[in-house]
Chains A and B, each alone.
Chain A
Amino acid sequence: MNIRALTAAFAATIVLPMGVAKATDLEVTHWWTSGGEAAAVAELAKAFNATGNKWIDGAIAGAGSTARPIMISRITGGDPMGATQFNHGRQAQELVEAGLMRDLTAVAEEGNWKDVIKPASLLDSCTLDGKIYCVPINIHSWQWLWLSNAAFEQAGVPVPKDWHEFVAAAPKLREAGIQPLALGGQAWQSGGLFDTLVLALGGKEVYEAVYVDKDADVAAGSEMAKVFEAAAQAREMAAGSNVQDWNQATNLVITGKAGGQVMGDWAQGEFQIAGQVAGEDYSCLPGLGISPYIATGGDAFYFPVLDDEEKSKAQDVLAQTMLDPKTQVAFNLKKGSLPVRGDVDLTSVNDCMKKGLDIVAKGNALTSTDQALSADSQKQKEDLMTEFFSSTSLSPEDAQKRFADIISSAD
């Protein structure tokens, strides 16, 4: 074989891929790996492939706490993917500040995102210095109490209408051999339960003063003391639930072994898979049945800066596709979350999702703690709460003191 033929062969291998580069491959990383989540991702992939590009799925198993370090090290290590999931808020803030994420302002203006995305706070947390860096794709909220109707029937008490009735019913549940409150052992679950109590029992003002304004005086004040008392009650109700993962705890409610669980609206998916009907088999109380507010966070997609022209164009197409009304409906129905657009048709949603949509439509959606606090402060708070909920030796007063310390140094 002579040199010329060899060169030609090499040239062919180089030219060939460039020739078909119209269908651009884009790797998308995310941590949606459970049954319902994977089905939802498939909808996104289908919509993107329909635009003539190719979705390369980069699912990372294990929750966000496992996936995020991998994503961040790939971006900072110089091997960025085409697009990646983060939660709304401040998880990717430093990557944006370091100029590693693409500015999507042009795409956003073309698609009129400012007007269609509701609530507006979702787009705000994608915005830095007036520029938009991410695409919010769904809305999740934490403030839900899921109750097993069968468990309450067995204990001989009516299904509670709010948190206070639930607390009052707890001794009856114990007598009937039912775990009153299911709570998984992972730290973030204790943290979420506490934040939910803050919003439901402390009210909107206290919630915003503590988490958004980081007011340490309010955190140490009498309103918060009540919340800590309630948390101590919740701790008693949760004593004895020896499970780790959130879906194991949800399963205790589904099977009627536990009375209720405080968990975000993603728990809905578990009830659906188990074939249960909202209102008949289980009940849901947004804001724990007390507060008319919920705090909305969710997932967003970020697009790392890439050198490749073609891929950058494909990123724009993907960003547009994700906010397309059809994709939004198809994705969110499977995911169990709410769409970020107010102008889409959702006739097939169930009772619980309707309640959530109503709250968002009324404008009663507040900033989530993921948006308000840095990952560092969130982690410190989780550490405190998981210690508090697992051991009765930490009194509510001491816990509140430490909580106020965390808030005073929070950023």
Chain B
Amino acid sequence: MTGHAPAKRPNQLFRNLNSKIASIPMILIAMGIFLGGSLWTILYSFTNSKLLPRLSFVGLDQYERLWSTSRWIISIQNLAIYGILSLIFSLVIGFLLAALMDQKIRFENAFRTIFLYPFALSFIVTGLVWQWILNPEFGIQGIVRSLGFENFTFDPLYNPDIVIYGILIAGLWQGTGLVMCLMLAGLRGIDEDIWKAARVDGIPMWRTYLFIVIPMMRPVFITTLVIIASGIVKVYDLVVAQTSGGPGNASEVPAKYVYDYMFQAQNLGQGFAASTMMLLTVAIIIIPWAYLEFGGKKRG
């Protein structure tokens, strides 16, 4: 207690004390479950734990085995194909749909509902529906053949070379509606005056979109990107419902490898190694991005 006290700024630690106390449980849970759980998993990925976790270290053996397993390599390739294409297509299709919706069309509400509807379905239901649609016996192929085109073949789910695109179709059908809605919200946030100014300057509409509107929608794009990307990394139920990884191993994904090896093969060490690799992949993408996005702003 000194005489200067009133002149001093209040201690940063005690500012908004109530809200800080209120967030303590959340911080503890995040630390304990997310961080603690991740560290525990990483630690045990260096052991030869089978059905039960045990601390007998084997160095990098689990990782060596992982990267020499063809099923894991296939899983990574599939995730890369699915991830890149689903990112590109859902952004492009979503934005195009949103731009079309934005042309002050009639029945906009009805269209919006139709496009957003698939998003209300879980991946399991989506997967089953598309499994039936793509089934050669009674799906698209069956219908077209019954119309008289006997040689028509469209059975992506039964062809190991293109099965991942069959899954991609279902994923896009489910996810683009949401992207469209986010984009539409972004477009509605653009000031009418910008459009008027562009029209006065005689800039064609497509150029306005590409060089003025899209750069202004950067925050919306980033939100969308995060939502799509998190959906890609955790893709699991869609594959389980549509193909259960088949034919053969052709549509396996990393998350399914983790589950199968942890619980069906009773090899926790191998499953942990695979999930650590997934975490690492996410970290490699997220950390530089977060650094640029948030770190840069503070300095700037």
Contacts and interface: CB of A to CB of B under 8 A. Distances in A.
Chain B contact residues, majority secondary structure: loop
A244 B265 contact: no
B248 A376 contact: no
A389 interface: yes
Contacts of B136: 242
Contacts, number: 78
A387 B70 contact: yes
A88 to B, nearest CB: 15
B160 A94 contact: no
Given A91-B266, A379-B260, A390-B249, 11 more contacts: A69-B263, A98-B52, A186-B244, A186-B246, A375-B264, A375-B265, A376-B265, A376-B267, A380-B265, A383-B69, A391-B248
Interface residues of A, number: 32
Interface of B: 50-52, 65, 69-71, 135-137, 155, 158, 160, 244-250, 260-261, 263-267, 270
A72 interface: yes
Contacts of A187: 245
Which has the most chain A C-beta neighbours within 10 Å: B245, B261, B266? B266
A185 interface: yes
A343 to B, nearest CB: 35
A376 B50 contact: yes
A185 B265 contact: no
Contacts of A376: 50, 261, 265-267, 270
Nearest to A64: B264
Contact of A69 (B65, B71, B264, B267): B264
B249 A386 contact: yes
Contacts of B50: 94, 374, 376
Interface string A62-90: 00010011001000100000000000000
B160 to A, nearest CB: 5
Chain A contact residues, majority secondary structure: helix
Contacts of B245: 187
B250 A390 contact: yes
Interface in A232-264: 242, 244
B51 A72 contact: yes
Which has the most chain A C-beta neighbours within 10 Å: B51, B160, B265, B270? B51
Contact of B250 (A69, A384, A391): A391
B203 to A, nearest CB: 52
A387 B249 contact: yes
Nearest to B136: A242
A391 B247 contact: yes
Interface in A358-407: 374-376, 378-380, 383-384, 386-391, 402
A242 B158 contact: yes
Contact of A390 (B51, B160, B267): B160
Contacts of B246: 185-186, 244, 386, 390
A98 B50 CA distance: 12
A91 B244 CA distance: 22
A61 to B, nearest CB: 15
Interface string A100-112: 0000000000000
Which has the most chain A C-beta neighbours within 10 Å: B65, B160, B264, B270? B264
A376 B49 CA distance: 11
A91 B264 CA distance: 10
In the complex, the 5 A-B pairs of residues with the closest C-beta atoms, listed nearest first: A390-B248, A379-B265, A69-B263, A94-B51, A390-B247
Contact of B248 (A65, A387, A409): A387
Contacts of B137: 242
Contact of A76 (B52, B158, B244): B52
B266 A383 contact: no
Contacts of A389: 248
25 contacts: A65-B264, A69-B264, A72-B51, A72-B263, A93-B51, A94-B50, A94-B266, A98-B52, A185-B246, A185-B247, A186-B244, A186-B246, A190-B248, A242-B137, A244-B244, A244-B246, A375-B51, A375-B264, A376-B50, A378-B265, A379-B261, A380-B69, A384-B70, A387-B71, A388-B248
